[in-house]
A and B are shown apart, each in its own frame.
Chain A
Amino acid sequence: MALAEEQHLENPLLAGLPLSRRPEPCALVIFGASGDLTKRKLFPALYSLAYRQLLPEKFAIVGVARTAETDDEFRERMKAAVQEFGRDDFRDDVWQGLADGMQYIGGDGNEDPVFDRVAETLTELDRERGTAGNRAYYLAVPPDAFETIVEGVGKRRSAEGWTRLIVEKPFGHDLASALELNDLVHRYFEESEIYRIDHYLGKETVQNMLALRFANGIFEPIWNRQFIDHIQITVAESIGIEGRASYYEKAGAIRDIFQNHLLQLVALTAMEPPIDFTSDSVRNEKVKVLKSMHTPGPKNVVRGQYGRGYVDGEEVPGYREEPGVDPNSMTETFVAGKLYVDNWRWADTPYYVRAGKRLARRETTIAIEFKRAPHPPFEELAAEGLRPNVLLINIQPDEGVSLAIGAKVPGQGLQIRTVHMDFLYGGAFRTDMPEAYERLVLDCMRGDSTLFTREDEVTEQWQLVDAIVATWRRDRPSFPNYAGGTWGPPSSDELLHRDGRTWRRH
């Protein structure tokens, strides 16, 4: 039982009071403090948390990166980042509270002196700002820098308080490297101290998936192979690789999106109800889904790479023309697959999934397509407009849930048309949606790992990806095979046509 809950039982005055979401005192160390993630996501998130008084009262941030910078320069740069990317009004008093506890350490992360300085600074902060030996290390760095940092930090663990390690994706580039990485971090850290971020899990709408399924009595009874025809999950981006060629060339769509975000969405859609919402209960159920997914045959996974095309009316270059990309690159920017979850609930119900860059629009959706009404008692003509019911979960944008049902077109005779029952987050709740990173950074500081990926999940995810990539070595598709601004290569449509189905119309 968590400490806060124990106190609740003892102290009668706490009855009915909300459990504080404020974490214990701690210091957050960000490796990769000069990077894009720190600027665009982490600091805006930290500011928003400070704005809502959700950060610990005693708190400090230590930025570490190669660039030489003074504490003040670091503060100024992050202030500008918060002003540019933050979602709240900029308030000087809030920022000052955050900036007072900020320090910067510049230097090559491959060298011991840097880690010594980090450790010394943290000890000083414990004294000056009362951070009590509690440390969260955020590794916002490329994977090749993981090892030295894990070692550098692991060898200098503080004797008091807790230590937590937040690791960004990708966690490895295949099963072998992921296992190696797990071994490495386990040399210095317990599994319970490792927080592998999949920022999709921090999104409100993804968590709403759990609310939708397990807080409503009407969905769960039909959430199975008997009533569901198939499921379509789309993670589409309209942007290209945005200057991340060196990373993307090695990763491709399968490691960038499929291995983590897409498989996590499958797991959340397919999982059995957890017995409670503690971190291990939820993750135990997710890992069962990942274990029961069988490897799709080579025909059931297709890939693509975008060529030139038009997005929002503007011409965009092909992938091979992007700066830093090999002109003969065989990296896929699109992947689609037919997956099966082999268990009692889902046997023979296909999960069609796709993810890609430079698609027609930005959209992440889970569409549950139900079986058709068995015998519509209407004339043939009338029933033409009758489509199966679809429960559509919009993860982003236009966050919400929509149910497609057939309705009679008013007038003589009986014509049926599909209409939508919509729930839009913005229309029902006026509270702004927190950014995923706010939720995740706060959860880590509070020691709640429910929304982080566990070791065995990562292993299962890589196993599936490795099997798919292995079959890809045998053939060489002619890339590029789809124009930017379209919905991917023809093979993706064929994947569904073969089964007499089509991708949802957008």
Chain B
Amino acid sequence: MTHIAWVPEEWVEAAEDVLAGLAERHPSRTIVLFPQSGTGGLEGEVSVESFTGGENRPVCTDTIRIRLHGTSAEHPGSVVEPLLIPDLPVFLRWRGVPGFGDSAFEELVDVVDRLIIDSTEWPDLPKPYADLATVFDRVAVSDIAWARTSRWRPMLASLWPSIANVSRIKVTGTLAQAHLLAGWLSSRLERSIELEHEHSDRLVGVELDGEPAPFPPGDSPLPADLLSDELDKLSRDPVYEAAVVAAVT
């Protein structure tokens, strides 16, 4: 597959950390785009990594890092198109809030099969979800913030049918997780749910009508695992889309 990462300056460090863990899981070509100021032109470097996989089979991944200046940062579509591996799915990991409507974002969305974002990185939630909802029909979207609620959703689902009458949810976690979980509940149950949020860097607790819900089993997944899992999915996730729409209505 081809995995494109759009990494503005402030996200460089975090992005490199995740990419390091990813290569071993997904034999792929990664194109990392660093939009930068400057008059114009491109600078690139290519690295190929080969390591031994299961049963001593060699596995190769290549990483192309490109710094985009001037017009190339506004029109990255023409930069990545020639570099895509034919017939294989293309993923775009966009760091930070996508520039909805900007030429860079619009062009890239048109060349990829799946957009991967992490709405935890976004300020002013839930407002940007409204913009996100407008791209659902153009590209399949994965949200790592949503993936981070994946241990909790089956646990909450197991509270059926009593959970059907819940009117208020309190989420201790990131704001994105709070909005997505509340959006999920209200879209599934088809009625509005009142949300209360207490900040924490991780999702550590959910209360339903003041009653704490049981803690789900298992460990919370690592960032590279989360991205890796999203790269295994290809189709749209209607449940997530409905949760996003519900979060802004």
Q: Please indicate the chain B residues that have their CB under 8 angstroms from the CB of A14 in the complex.
A: 154, 157, 160
Which 3 residue pairs of A and B lie closest in terms of their CB atoms, listed nearest first? A16-B239, A13-B157, A426-B57
Shortest beta-carbon distance from A341 to chain B in Å: 33
Q: Please indicate the chain B residues that have their CB under 8 angstroms from the CB of A433 in the complex.
A: 54
Flag whether B197 is at the interface (Cβ < 8 A): no
| Contact yes or no, B27 A20, CB < 8 A | no
Flag whether A499 is at the interface (Cβ < 8 A): no
Interface bits B53-66 vs A (CB < 8 Å: 1, else 0): 11101010000000
Flag whether A329 is at the interface (Cβ < 8 A): no
| Contact yes or no, B163 A430, CB < 8 A | no
Flag whether B67 is at the interface (Cβ < 8 A): no
- CB closest residue in chain A, given B161: A11
| Contact yes or no, A427 B163, CB < 8 A | no
- Bound state CA distance, A288 and B221, in angstroms? 46
- Bound state CA distance, A14 and B55, in angstroms? 38
Asked, given contacts A12-B188, A13-B163, A430-B24, whether A424 binds B57 with beta carbons under 8 Å apart, the answer is yes
Q: Please indicate the chain B residues that have their CB under 8 angstroms from the CB of A17 in the complex.
A: 153-154, 157
| Contact yes or no, B27 A427, CB < 8 A | yes
Can you sample 26 A-B contacts with CB below 8 Å?
A: A11-B160, A11-B161, A12-B189, A12-B190, A13-B153, A13-B189, A14-B157, A14-B160, A15-B188, A15-B239, A16-B237, A16-B238, A16-B239, A17-B154, A17-B157, A53-B218, A398-B55, A398-B57, A426-B55, A427-B27, A427-B53, A427-B59, A428-B27, A430-B25, A430-B27, A433-B54
Q: Please indicate the chain B residues that have their CB under 8 angstroms from the CB of A424 in the complex.
A: 57
- Bound state CA distance, A432 and B55, in angstroms? 10
- CB closest residue in chain A, given B238: A16
Q: Please indicate the chain B residues that have their CB under 8 angstroms from the CB of A13 in the complex.
A: 153, 156-157, 160, 163, 185, 188-189
Interface bits A268-297 vs B (CB < 8 Å: 1, else 0): 000000000000000000000000000000
Q: Which of B24, B25, B54 has the most CB of A within 10 A?
A: B54
Using a CB–CB distance below 8 Å, which chain B residues touch chain A?
A: 24-27, 53-55, 57, 59, 153-154, 156-157, 160-161, 163, 185, 188-190, 217-218, 237-240
- CB closest residue in chain A, given B60: A427
Flag whether A397 is at the interface (Cβ < 8 A): yes
Q: Please indicate the chain A residues that have their CB under 8 angstroms from the CB of B163 in the complex.
A: 13
Using a CB–CB distance below 8 Å, which chain A residues touch chain B?
A: 10-17, 20, 53, 57, 397-398, 424, 426-428, 430, 432-433
- Bound state CA distance, A12 and B163, in angstroms? 11
- Bound state CA distance, A430 and B190, in angstroms? 39
- Bound state CA distance, A10 and B164, in angstroms? 12
- Bound state CA distance, A398 and B239, in angstroms? 39
Known: A14-B154, A15-B239, A16-B239. 4 other contacts (CB 8 A): A11-B157, A13-B160, A57-B217, A426-B57
- CB closest residue in chain A, given B188: A12
Q: Please indicate the chain A residues that have their CB under 8 angstroms from the CB of B185 in the complex.
A: 13
- Bound state CA distance, A450 and B22, in angstroms? 34
| Contact yes or no, A427 B57, CB < 8 A | yes
Q: Which of A10, A15, A57, A428 has the most CB of B within 10 A?
A: A15
Q: Please indicate the chain A residues that have their CB under 8 angstroms from the CB of B156 in the complex.
A: 13
| Contact yes or no, B217 A53, CB < 8 A | yes
Q: Please indicate the chain B residues that have their CB under 8 angstroms from the CB of A432 in the complex.
A: 54
Shortest beta-carbon distance from B235 to chain A in Å: 11
| CB-contact partner of A426 in B59, B237, B238, under 8 A | B59
Q: Which of B55, B153, B156 has the most CB of A within 10 A?
A: B55
Q: Please indicate the chain B residues that have their CB under 8 angstroms from the CB of A15 in the complex.
A: 188, 239
- Bound state CA distance, A424 and B56, in angstroms? 12
- CB closest residue in chain B, given A87: B54
- Bound state CA distance, A12 and B55, in angstroms? 43
Q: Please indicate the chain B residues that have their CB under 8 angstroms from the CB of A57 in the complex.
A: 217
- Bound state CA distance, A25 and B57, in angstroms? 39
Asked, given contacts A13-B157, A17-B153, whether A430 binds B239 with beta carbons under 8 Å apart, the answer is no
- CB closest residue in chain B, given A11: B160
| Contact yes or no, A426 B54, CB < 8 A | yes
Q: Please indicate the chain A residues that have their CB under 8 angstroms from the CB of B59 in the complex.
A: 426-427, 430
- Bound state CA distance, A455 and B100, in angstroms? 61
- Bound state CA distance, A385 and B163, in angstroms? 70
- CB closest residue in chain A, given B184: A13
Shortest beta-carbon distance from A398 to chain B in Å: 8
Q: Please indicate the chain A residues that have their CB under 8 angstroms from the CB of B55 in the complex.
A: 397-398, 426
- CB closest residue in chain B, given A7: B160
- CB closest residue in chain B, given A424: B57
Q: Please indicate the chain B residues that have their CB under 8 angstroms from the CB of A428 in the complex.
A: 27
- Bound state CA distance, A17 and B157, in angstroms? 9
Q: Please indicate the chain A residues that have their CB under 8 angstroms from the CB of B161 in the complex.
A: 11
Q: Please indicate the chain A residues that have their CB under 8 angstroms from the CB of B240 in the complex.
A: 16
- Bound state CA distance, A398 and B55, in angstroms? 8
- CB closest residue in chain A, given B23: A430
Q: Please indicate the chain A residues that have their CB under 8 angstroms from the CB of B237 in the complex.
A: 16
Q: Please indicate the chain B residues that have their CB under 8 angstroms from the CB of A427 in the complex.
A: 27, 53, 57, 59
- Bound state CA distance, A465 and B185, in angstroms? 59
| Contact yes or no, A430 B157, CB < 8 A | no
- Bound state CA distance, A187 and B106, in angstroms? 68
- CB closest residue in chain B, given A431: B25
Asked, given contacts A11-B157, A13-B153, A13-B156, whether A430 binds B189 with beta carbons under 8 Å apart, the answer is no
- Bound state CA distance, A57 and B155, in angstroms? 14
| Contact yes or no, B53 A430, CB < 8 A | yes
Q: Please indicate the chain B residues that have their CB under 8 angstroms from the CB of A10 in the complex.
A: 160
Q: Please indicate the chain A residues that have their CB under 8 angstroms from the CB of B188 in the complex.
A: 12-13, 15
Shortest beta-carbon distance from B230 to chain A in Å: 14
Shortest beta-carbon distance from A420 to chain B in Å: 16
Q: Please indicate the chain A residues that have their CB under 8 angstroms from the CB of B238 in the complex.
A: 16
Shortest beta-carbon distance from B26 to chain A in Å: 6
- CB closest residue in chain B, given A13: B157
Shortest beta-carbon distance from A137 to chain B in Å: 28
Shortest beta-carbon distance from B62 to chain A in Å: 14
- Bound state CA distance, A432 and B25, in angstroms? 10
Q: Please indicate the chain A residues that have their CB under 8 angstroms from the CB of B53 in the complex.
A: 426-427, 430
Q: Please indicate the chain B residues that have their CB under 8 angstroms from the CB of A53 in the complex.
A: 217-218
Shortest beta-carbon distance from B156 to chain A in Å: 6
Shortest beta-carbon distance from A434 to chain B in Å: 12
Q: Please indicate the chain B residues that have their CB under 8 angstroms from the CB of A11 in the complex.
A: 157, 160-161
